[in-house]
A and B are shown apart, each in its own frame.
Chain A
């Protein structure tokens, strides 16, 4: 079992659907992140939570809504997505805040049809 687990691993959703991605970290870290990875683009940071408070939102469209109920769990709620949102969504965690080593989950492959 990896230190950061994500579910589902694969998701296909229509543009009018509402779905959620879930992330759980078992490393005792106090910061969690959502990244987006699209083909031929660098990893893009979407959201940062430190001690369960959102500390960064890199101009992500409101159709992506994060939730961090505690330091071990992170959700990404999805609604009315566009086909260009199809990507690999990676959850990560670190101890001591951003700038320290981050560890990634296996990712959730999202396809919007």
Chain B
């Protein structure tokens, strides 16, 4: 069973701090990695995707990928109360039917003002 593991949290950080969200995955063949944000009662929205080892930055968000360690993370700089949400890590997995997108259970982030 291919899995994506995330600490459910809640992760609490003060406003202006850096929030670090982590994700590990079991399938070494995974090629694409996604971070989604989900506000309570809303659907997931894409924040970032990353395909290559290293860092990818987009505004206050940085995704980090280390395929050797099967680890992907999301850093949020200058955290704002509006960043309070559940962050879902998703990883591609190849199976007989094609390529599947496996989600973790998500990490709840709380940013206090």
A and B from one complex: yes
Q: Contacts A56-B100, A97-B99 given: A105-B46 contact, CB under 8 Å?
A: no
- Which A residues contact B (CB, under 8 angstroms)? 40-43, 45, 48, 50, 55-56, 88, 90, 97-107
- Among A55, A56, A99, point to the contact of B32 (Cβ < 8 A): A99
Are the CB atoms of B43 and A101 closer together than 8 Å? no
Are the CB atoms of A45 and B100 closer together than 8 Å? yes
Residues of chain B contacted by A41 (CB below 8 angstroms) = 105
| Chain B minimum-CB-distance residue to A91 | B43
| Distance to closest chain B CB from A19 (angstroms) | 20
Q: For chain B residues 59-95, which have a beta carbon within 8 Å of chain A?
A: 88, 90, 92
Residues of chain A contacted by B49 (CB below 8 angstroms) = 101
Report the bound CA distance from A99 to B32 in whole Å: 7
Q: Contacts A43-B88, A90-B43, A106-B43 given: A99-B105 contact, CB under 8 Å?
A: no
Residues of chain B contacted by A45 (CB below 8 angstroms) = 100-101
Are the CB atoms of B97 and A99 closer together than 8 Å? no
Report the bound CA distance from A56 to B102 in whole Å: 14
Report the bound CA distance from A5 to B42 in whole Å: 13
| Distance to closest chain B CB from A54 (angstroms) | 10
Are the CB atoms of A56 and B97 closer together than 8 Å? yes
Residues of chain A contacted by B99 (CB below 8 angstroms) = 97-99
Q: Contacts A99-B31, A101-B34 given: A55-B43 contact, CB under 8 Å?
A: no
